[in-house]
Amino acid sequence: MKILRRKRSTYALSLILCLAGIAALLATLWKTWPEVSSAKDPFSTFLTLLWTEKLDLIAGLAFKLVYLVVLGDAMLISGIVLLVLSVQRFYLPGKVVWYRCPFCKKDWRSSGDKALVHCPHCRQLIHPIIIEKPVQ
Ligand SMILES: [Zn+2]
C-alpha cells in the first residue's frame, strides 16, 4: 500500500513537472511571439530576446527568459523521465519469479503473487511452488 502511494506520488510529480515545463516554455513563446513573428529572422530574434527580455514573476524579481527556457526544459525532461519510470513500474506487475509444477516438476517464469495457476506444461490447476532463480 505504501509502495503504491509512492508510485502515485511519483506519477503526480512527473505530471506537475511536465505541466510546469510546458507552461514555462509557453510563457516564453507568448512573451517573445509579438517580436519573433514580425522579425525577418525569427530564430535569431528569438535567441536575442531570450538574453534581453525579462519576465517579472514576482515584483522586484526579474527573470531572464533564457533561465525560464532552461528551467522549462529541465522540468519537462525530468517530468518525462519520471513519467516513463512510474508508468513502467505501474505495468510491470511485481517481480518475475520461477514457478515449479508439483506434478510434472517443470519450471516456468511468470509474474509473482499467483496462488492458483494452470501449469503450462501439463495443464493441471495447481498451487505452484515458487523457486528462486537468477533472472536471465
Ligand atoms: Zn505441470
CA end-to-end span of the chain, whole Å? 29
The residue whose grid cell reads 508508468 is 87
Separation of 111 CA from ligand 1 center, angstroms?
17
Q: What is the pLDDT at residue 16? A: 94
Tell me how far apart the alpha carbons of residues 85 and 77 are, in angstroms, rounded to a whole number. 12
More confident residue, 74 or 11: 74
Separation of 101 CA from ligand 1 center, angstroms?
5
Contact 111, 94 (CB under 8 A): yes
| Residues β-bridged to residue 63 | 55
Q: Which pTM value belongs to this model? A: 0.57
Angle, helices 65-91/42-52, rounded to nearest 10 degrees? 100
Q: What is the pLDDT at residue 119? A: 92
Separation of 100 CA from ligand 1 center, angstroms?
8
C-alpha cell at 5: 502511494
Q: What is the pLDDT at residue 125? A: 93
Torsion angle defined by CA atoms of residues 56, 58, 60 and 65, in that order, rounded to the nearest 10 degrees: -30
Separation of 107 CA from ligand 1 center, angstroms?
8
64 in helix, strand or coil? strand
pLDDT digits (tens, 9 = 90+) for 77-134: 999 998 888 777 665 556 678 889 999 999 988 876 678 889 999 999 999 888 876 5
pLDDT digits (tens, 9 = 90+) for 57-88: 666 667 788 888 999 999 999 999 988 887 77
